[in-house]
Amino acid sequence: AQSVTQPDIHITVSEGASLELRCNYSYGATPYLFWYVQSPGQGLQLLLKYFSGDTLVQGIKGFEAEFKRSQSSFNLRKPSVHWSDAAEYFCAWMDSSYKLIFGSGTRLLVRP
Amino acid sequence: EAGVVQSPRYKIIEKKQPVAFWCNPISGHNTLYWYRQNLGQGPELLIRYENEEAVDDSQLPKDRFSAERLKGVDSTLKIQPAELGDSAVYLCASSLVETQYFGPGTRLTVL
């Protein structure tokens, strides 16, 4: 079965430090991949998406992600984290019926 | 432009009671989704509508859950009767093509 794995349940970084959140998917064909962010009590906000083309995609709030087919990965990065980035981050893959398959999420904590 | 609107934001009920959630998608979005998000997990699709038609309801527990989108715009998701395990956040999303936009969700607590 198709799946999305986010191996890190929690990550803590210091404000101003760089960030990388890992995401791996199990699927053969070129996937549609997404990163969403969820703040407490809020819905999911789209950060960025990859459908095809350039494997490095830019998103909102200074985030970027790189699609690596050889590693079945779509890791999210940010060069300098702000305290307001503390939230839960979800990686998702879209199947052929437009259903999003989500990972279990990574909670980001930011140290002052 | 207004986003996806959901109500209520929070609902607390006793088990065996009925409950309903309402969603109004982004204007012009013909595809509407209902997801359930259990604590500490990612959302899971319950049902997808294309206009008025439910095109994927394979994950909807049909013995107690029902949904409708009568005029192809807003939608209602109902649980009757609710069970303790139904406590979760119920998210509505809409899309024009591939990208789905989510509402704030309804947090349901079943006591």
> pLDDT for A85-94, tens place per residue?
999 999 999 9
CB B108 within 8 A of CB B20: no
Distance between CA atoms of residues B110 and B100, nearest Å? 28
Distance between CA atoms of residues A10 and A33, nearest Å? 21
Q: What is the mean pLDDT of residues A61-89?
A: 95
Pairing of strands B88-95, B31-37: antiparallel
> pLDDT for B89-98, tens place per residue?
999 999 998 8
Distance between CA atoms of residues A66 and A23, nearest Å? 10
What is the pLDDT, as a whole number, of residue A31? 77
For residue B1 the two structure tokens come to 């432009």
A31 and chain B: CB distance < 8 Å anywhere?
no
> pLDDT for A23-69, tens place per residue?
999 876 667 999 999 998 788 999 999 998 889 999 999 999 999 98
Question: Is A105 in contact with B4 (Cβ distance < 8 A)?
Answer: no
Give the residue carrying structure tokens 């699927």: A27
Coil vs helix vs strand at B30: coil
Residue of B nearest to A32 (CA): B98
> pLDDT for B30-73, tens place per residue?
999 999 999 989 999 999 999 999 999 999 999 999 999 988 89
Residue of B nearest to A95 (CA): B98
Question: Is B104 in contact with A42 (Cβ distance < 8 A)?
Answer: yes
Question: Is B31 in contact with A98 (Cβ distance < 8 A)?
Answer: yes
